[in-house]
Amino acid sequence: MSPSTTLRTGPADFEHLSVDDVSRHFGRRRAVSRITFRADRGVVLGLLGPNGAGKSTLLALLATLLRPSSGTIRYGEHTASTRGAALRAAIGVLGHDLFLYPELTARENLEFFAGLYGLPDRRAAASAALEAAGLAHRGDDPVSSFSRGMRQRVALERALIHRPRLVLLDEPFTGLDDASAAALGRRLHGLRAADAVIILATHDLDLAEGLLDRAVFLREGRMVEAVDRPQDVRATYRKIVS
Amino acid sequence: MFAHIVWLVLRKDFTIEVRSLEIAYTTLFFAISCVLVFAFALVQEGRAPEGGAAGILWIAIAFSGTLALGRTFERERQAETLRALLLAPAARPAVYVGKLLGIVVLLLAAELVLVPLVALLFQAALFAHPIWLALILLTGTIGFAAVGTLFAAMLVRARSRDVLLPVLLYPITVPVIIAGVRATGALVAPEFDAGVLRVWLALLVCFDVVFLTLALWTFEPLMTD
């Protein structure tokens, strides 16, 4: 197992994530409403739904960037209010925006985030991440000179640099060509084999199909269906979209 | 760990600024323009209005500081990197202090150009007591930037942030600006009175302590949602 897929077991480590009757309101607008599901280690859970279904809000809640208006999110035995920073050290997020500084080189970006996550050898961590992204030869180029696909690969390694237990991915296939999408698929398979809890939000099942073990379907902020068998995902998706 | 995070954030901001020089140029150009406009308007036949220099200096610092604050956080907004900073397990007040130090260093660098310019155009003896001047500028800049950094971070996702920042910032920092103006005024007065200067400087230190304490206390809860 490569260093970048070996998961770190820190004090806030956990076996599963459980979302229990979670709602989040912004003023009078209900972004997500009464969502309940559970995600276990070694499983890729898809959050599927059209644009505006509440997928990104739900990911922000799981990432501890937002607090639920009601309901509880548990990371094993922990909650965000009890473990704060220790819990954030076990979460990796690849957002719709890439969280990279375009003026800095890929290596500088990765070293900066390795430092923020308290990794002891930032240089080695950045080099391993560049290797995993297939961009070791472009590590000293500014991110602003990269294509969207290359940025996405650096952003994914930035999200995984601290070997998180919970990996949250928001539309990770955006802007990737076929080869890059296949590479991302292989990376996610590696994370699954390394026992990460992986939650992938997307509106495009064509790209994510084959990766998902389970799926939760959202529409207008509500959970409309949950599927536990990969072979049922496509049929349920068709039913819901129609 | 706290100091390490502060250093990482500060060094990252400094590296980006050295490469782009965007905020430094904008801030400096705006501050110099401001001083020149006041000089053309107020200096008549080579004579500057008495006490004008102190006011002009602090107006230039406040206006250009607001510009720098807005641009610094605009940079964090564009790729949502502020979210990435908040997602890290680092102490969030350390992120605040790192951003604050970056703004303070930038404003102090702008003041290195502004002070001689104001002294020259308004014939003010700003360099007669350089240690006092340095203390006034340092405490005033910290007080202004402490509040400004907090508000700029809070407003980073607000649509009308460019309008809201000065609307929120100036009323709160008026005491700092007034104390800075009065202390600088006392410094360039024909009869130098160290006692008066000490009072204003003590007030500036008090404002710094209060503003910094409040900002460190409120940064994490304000940024969480």
Domain spans, chain B: 2-224
pLDDT confidence band for A177 (50 / 70 / 90): confident
Q: Is the dihedral of CA B170, B174, B179, B184 positive or negative?
A: positive
pLDDT tens for B139-179 read 999 999 999 999 999 898 888 888 999 999 999 999 999 99
Interface confidence (ipTM) of the complex: 0.88
Contact yes or no for A115 and B4 at CB 8 A? yes
Q: Is the dihedral of CA B145, B86, A106, B7 positive or negative?
A: positive
Q: How many CB atoms lie within 10 A of CB A150?
A: 20
Q: How far is A145 from chain B (nearest CA, A)?
A: 14
Between helix A106-116 and helix A148-160 the angle, nearest 10°, is 20
Spatial distance between the Cα atoms of A222 and A62, rounded to a whole number of angstroms:
16
Q: Which residue of A has its CA nearest to B15?
A: A104
The verdict on A13 touching B (C-beta cutoff 8 Å) is no
Select the residue of A85, A98, A118 nearest B79 (Cβ to Cβ). Answer: A98
Per-residue DSSP letter, B70: H
Spatial distance between the Cα atoms of A48 and A83, rounded to a whole number of angstroms:
29
Q: Which residues are within 8 A (CB) of A20 and not within 5 positions of it... i.e. 6 or more apart?
A: A36, A71, A72, A73, A74
Q: Which residue of A has its CA nearest to B18?
A: A103
Contacts A112 to B, Cβ<8 Å: 8, 12
pLDDT tens for A96-122 read 888 999 999 999 999 999 999 999 999
Q: How far is B90 from chain A (nearest CA, A)?
A: 6
pLDDT tens for B53-71 read 999 999 999 999 999 999 8
| Element holding A32 (H helix, E strand) | strand A29-40
Between positions 38 and 97 of A, the ones with CB within 8 A of B are 63-67, 85-86, 88-89, 91, 93, 95, 97
Select the residue of B4, B16, B225 nearest A101 (Cβ to Cβ). Answer: B16
In the A/B pair of chains, how many CB contacts fall below 8 A? 73
Strands A16-26 and A29-40: antiparallel
Instruction: Compute CA distances A62 → A17, A108, B7, B80, whole Å.
Output: 9, 28, 29, 17
pLDDT score at A207: 76
Q: Hey, what are A225's tokens?
A: 């269906």
Do B136 and B201 form a contact (C-beta atoms < 8 A)?
yes
Q: Which residue of A has its CA nearest to B12?
A: A112
Nearest to A145 by CA among A100, A93, A92, A95: A100
Contacts A98 to B, Cβ<8 Å: 79-80
- Judge residue A24's burial from the number of C-beta atoms within 10 Å of its C-beta, 0-12 exposed, 13-18 middle, 19 or more buried: buried
In this structure, of A21-35, A174-188, B130-144, B208-222, the range with the lowest mean pLDDT score is A174-188
